[in-house]
Amino acid sequence: MVQENRSGEWVKVLTANLDSEGKLVGGELAEPFWDAAEALDSRSATDNCASGGRCIFTMIDRSGDGNLTVDDNPPLEFHRDEESLLRPYLLSGGAGACTEILGGLPVPQTYDGSEAMQQLCSETIIDFIRGVDVFDYDSDGDATEDRPCQNNPTKSCKLGDIFHSSPIVVDPPVHPLVCTLGLHPQCLMTLYAAASDFAPVGEPLCTDDGPKPCYEATPMVPAASPGLGTYGAYEAYMNAQKHRDRFILVGANDGMLHAFLAGKHISGKDFGTMGDDIFDLGTGEEMWAFIPPDLLPKLARSALKHEYFVDGTPMVRDIWVDGSGATSADGKKQADEFHTVAMISERGGGQRYMALDVTNPWGMKTAGLETSTYQPFLWMYPNACDSEAYNFGQSWMNFSPKPPSIGPVRLKNDNRARGWDERWITFLNGGYSNDLLRGRGVYLVDIWTGERLWSFVAEMDAADGGGGKGGADYEGSVRDMLAPVAAAPAMLDVGAMQSIKADQDGFFDTVVVGDLGGQVWVFRMYEPGIKPADGQVTNWFGARALELDRSDSDTRSDRKLGLKTPFFNIASNTIQTETGWLRTFLGTGDKQNIRDKETSACGIDNLLACTRLGCKVKIDTKIKVDGYELKQTIHYEDGRVKNSRAKPKDKKSSDSCSAAEMSITKLDVHCNAGHGGTTKDNWFEKQNQSVTMSCDAQSGWDCEMASVWDTKDHGEFEVTDEGLAALPRNRYFGFFSYGGTERVFDSKESALAYDGLRLTDRSTYSPSEPCTREKCILTDVTIPESDFSTTTIDGKTVRYVPADKLKKADPLGPGWFIEYASLDEKTAAGSSILVGTVFWPSLVPPEGEQEACGPALTGDIGRSWQADYLTGAPDTAESFRIPQGYIQAKSRAVAAPPPEPASVISLSKTGAVSYGIIVTDPGAPPVAETLKTQRDLTSEIYWLEVPRSLHECRHVNKNACD
């Protein structure tokens, strides 16, 4: 085993020593199989791809229609050989960047806007991004060599920092034996499964004279017989691709998505058993890199300071697309209609998503260098001139290690015998928005074409009094309540949910996601989507399952955003076997500002914190895209939305991308009061601060940034004890989100009724029918500090709760929540659910001063929490039990926010099964936690107390069931 030591070196653990804090010191250096940064050292930054240099590509608008689509293939090499084509994109950041860049050259140049200076600036940007030492960092007089490493000038450093992007392995098509067991996130059974592999109960299996819609698998040519071990067209696709190179995709803040070689087929080896690997470990060679075209104008800024670029995790799936091969669409799967796609998100780097066809691992390179019909670039969303850009925030998609939100849905087609078609899609979130105006939508997009099939987007109106258009209708009182969605959507196949029987058919029909306004939403796509030829699906709907601090009246003026902590992490979901209900698990916490202290976090980059402190916040914005214009205003006071309005203007010109502008025209933050607080200085008194970026094609895309106040030097709130008690703490939730007879919907009317039944954590909520306290209020299972005890185990103090102090929710009730004791503790990642236990991490930042940047977090505490998934009591995980009681959460020092835990099931030689969790903190060895050990593989017999009414229904009188 290898681990990072105190000096940041990777060493062999058994050769190192432990210091008093349990950190490794010294040790024999471990030798990596390969290092991508070192592999790049041997690749020339100046030579083009054909000459053996780096193979970096991007896309430009070849068709001139103002958008970037599959028709704009092939990719363009990002090299000074293509400078004239790249220049309009690279210099759209304005003259200011070129002035600074050319002024910083070893021989400074004065930028005057001339043709020669534009070319020099453009070439300098290209060379810098490729890794040329254009600024002569080592002062050796050579500005044409590869950029030297700061700590070792004999080597070159070209790879940018990889921050929030997780590396994703792209394998050849996955064997069905592995896929059927759910052991690989790249595939889904629907690719190859027959009807007999699923057991839908919500609709009948297809017969000759039966009703539609009905269920049957999409036919394949050749046909599949999974029972006989043959998988038809998918097997033909798998065999044709099974020896293709394995590679890793990861985004970096050098502007690129990188593809690194991670394995080549070992000659003579083929797939035998599930434990076989027929690939070597690869070389780490950069096969190619891709610069998202929307980031081209931003590249100049990276030469001046650190910027975020491709900071999201790529999503990879094998998919099927009817008609994408040699034959036209016919509703039958053929081998050349299967593909591997990768979708890029940018997180803090940008607002777009885009998709690539990576079926051919080297296709980006061959398409960019040769005359080829291969089209690796598929789409960008929203597109360059799409007015939908009004609505998008930063494209966050934090799903890993869970599978990506890509999969099949059903669209109605009366020309098919079963009444529907299989369509592979991706479900996109609107993104993170610090101004709270953008990102208020979710979008269902065709993964192959980028066509928007369905969306759910909140709207504002000039007459709006607080967040949406208003009114008692579905749009005004449900849809328009959606806040920015930074969390990744959790896509589920749960069926009709009309009984306790499993009802999966291999098609996604439900999505669960939380928003920044402390709400959790459920979207349903169970019925085959009815989509007009020129419109969106009309029979899919969404509504809220949970609203934190729900007000009694449900009017906008009573909704206090300042008491609603945000959801950032992907939800975990499971079916309660006794009832068939969907149970959802997730916690709150501002992941963008995870180390912020609540009393000092308010600023232009964290306006949510300002609302929680009760500050007055007023934001005016103006957005122009392709001739469209949208002006928005939102005003918060005492944590409530006091006023909001939007003034859209239609496009006045048919010019493509004639002008673009995004600006905060006015931002007022006034924090004299709120929660009993005062300020140490008058920073919050500054008025009318603005930040503006304006770009105009008529002036050569000259963009200017206005000055903005410095947010690093403002004072900390002096908050009274009463005020501190009023500030909201983050919480973790487990609740009944969908199912049964009442919590279901399939129309606007039933979605409106479902929304009226949304759960809340507010104990003083006064419900009105159909809500009751028993139906709509979650149980607080937070254990008071006074109920905890301590003991010593192996010389360490352990905090535990005695068995008689446990608090439990009703297993058949609406759910439970736990409130963190610390004001600054936040849920750090998603959850794992295994054998009735839900397991999740949190982060507690240090109490004292913090360094904004550093090699590691200092004084931060990570916690691992566990609870019974139905009752919320911490009494299920074996390794959290001690003779005196139960450990609710284990704490340790961490060097980074703890990631989502990984579930592990292991089988011993004696047949015992161990169910556990692996906690992997950066710079620390993995820690295994045991949830349950089962020595008998036969089904368990257990007791479950049920209400008398349920007993009557099940065993006495079926007419007593409601």
Query: Tell me: the pLDDT tens digits for 353-380?
Result: 999 999 999 999 998 887 778 999 999 9
Please state the rounded mean pLDDT for residues 170-189. 93
Dihedral pair phi/psi, residue 446, rounded to 5°: -60, 125
pLDDT number for residue 809: 98
Confidence check: pLDDT of 833 > 60: yes
Please report the DSSP string for 705-743 in residue order.
E-----STTPPPEEE-HHHHHHSPPPEEEEEEEEBTTTB
Across 498-503, average pLDDT = 83
Say if CB 70 and CB 62 are below 8 A apart: no
- The pLDDT, as a whole number, for residue 466 is 38
CB 429 within 8 A of CB 301: no
508-532 average pLDDT score: 97
Backbone angles phi, psi at 102, to 5 degrees: -70, -30
What is the reported pLDDT for 848?
Answer: 62
Q: Is the predicted pLDDT of residue 697 greater than 70, yes or no? A: no
Residue given tokens 């070196």 in the structure block: 9
Q: Residue 74: is the preceding peptide bond cis (ω within 30°)?
A: yes
Question: Widest CA span of the chain, in angstroms?
Answer: 92
The string of DSSP letters for 122-186 reads HHHHHHHHHTB-TT-TT-SS-SSSBPBPSS-TTSB-------SPPPEEEPSSPPHHHHHTT--TT
How confident is residue 909, by pLDDT bands cut at 50, 70 and 90?
confident
Which tops the pLDDT comparison, 179 or 23? 179
Place of tokens 């969908």: 738
The reported pLDDT for the residue numbered 660 is 58
pLDDT tens per residue, range 89-137: 999 877 889 999 999 999 999 999 999 999 999 999 999 999 999 999 9
- List, for residues 711-750, the tens digit of each pLDDT value: 445 555 667 788 788 889 999 999 999 999 999 999 999 9
Domain ranges of the chain: 607-725, 784-813+831-962
CA-wise closest residue to 373 among 171, 79, 70:
70
pLDDT of the residue at 720:
77
> pLDDT for 155-175, tens place per residue?
999 999 999 999 999 999 999
CA distance 946 to 523: 30
Share of residues in the chain with pLDDT > 70 (%) = 85
Tell me how far apart the alpha carbons of residues 323 and 614 are, in angstroms, rounded to a whole number.
56
Average pLDDT over residues 609-635: 77
* Residue 291 · residue 301 · CB < 8 Å: no
Query: What pLDDT, in 10s, does the model give residues 574-584?
Result: 999 999 999 99
- How confident is the model at residue 706, as a pLDDT? 41
In terms of pLDDT, which residue wins out, 427 or 504? 427
Q: What pLDDT is recorded for position 269? A: 86
Tell me the C-alpha distance between 697 and 655, whole Å. Answer: 11
For residue 14, pLDDT beyond 80: yes
Q: Which residue has the higher pLDDT, 251 or 938?
A: 251
Query: Which pLDDT score, from 0 to 100, does residue 758 have?
Result: 97
| Residue 647: predicted pLDDT | 66
Over residues 312-353, the pLDDT tens digits come to 999 999 999 999 999 999 999 999 999 999 999 999 999 999
β-sheet with 286-291: strand ranges across? 76-77, 56-58, 286-291, 257-263, 246-251, 168-170
* pTM metric for this prediction: 0.91
- Of residues 433 and 543, more confidently modeled: 543
- Beta-strand runs (E) in 303-359: 315-320, 333-334, 338-345, 353-357
CB atoms within 10 A of CB 525: 25
Burial class (CB in 10 A: 0-12, 13-18, 19+), 228: exposed
Contact 657, 66 (CB under 8 A): yes
| pLDDT exceeds 60 at position 203 | yes
- Pairing between strand 286-291 and 56-58? parallel
pLDDT of residue 850: 53
pLDDT at 937: 55
Quote the CA–CA distance of 587 and 732 in Å, as a whole number.
Answer: 4
Contact between 520 and 724 under an 8 Å Cβ cutoff? The reply is no
Q: What is the pLDDT of residues 639-665, one digit of tens each?
A: 677 666 666 666 554 444 545 566 667
In angstroms, the CA 601 to CA 434 distance is 13
**pLDDT score at 235:** 95
Predicted pLDDT at 650: 62
% of the chain with per-residue pLDDT over 90: 63
Mean predicted confidence (pLDDT) in 687-700 = 39
Sign of the C-alpha dihedral computed for residues 526, 532, 535 and 539 taken in this order: negative
pLDDT for residue 280? 94
At 605 the pLDDT is 78
CA angle 269–275–277, rounded 5-degree value: 35
pLDDT in tens, 849-906: 555 444 445 689 999 999 999 999 999 999 999 999 999 999 999 989 999 999 998 8
What pLDDT is stored for residue 651 in this prediction? 56
CB 816 within 8 A of CB 871: yes
Q: How many residues belong to the chain? A: 962
* Interval 659-689: pLDDT, tens: 556 666 777 777 764 555 544 444 444 434 4
Q: How far apart are CA 156 and CA 132, in angstroms?
A: 9
pLDDT at 435: 74
Contact between 410 and 418 under an 8 Å Cβ cutoff? The reply is no
What contacts 24+ positions apart, CB below 8 Å, involve 790-798? Answer: 791/882, 791/884, 793/882, 798/882, 798/887
419-423, 805-809, 908-912: least confident range: 908-912
Question: For the segment 19-73, what is each residue's pLDDT rounded down to a tens digit?
Answer: 877 788 999 999 999 999 999 999 999 999 999 999 999 999 999 888 999 999 9
Which pLDDT score is estimated for 858? 64
Question: Rounded mean pLDDT of the chain?
Answer: 87
- 692 falls in which pLDDT band (50, 70, 90)? very low
Q: In the predicted model, is pLDDT for residue 216 greater than 60?
A: yes
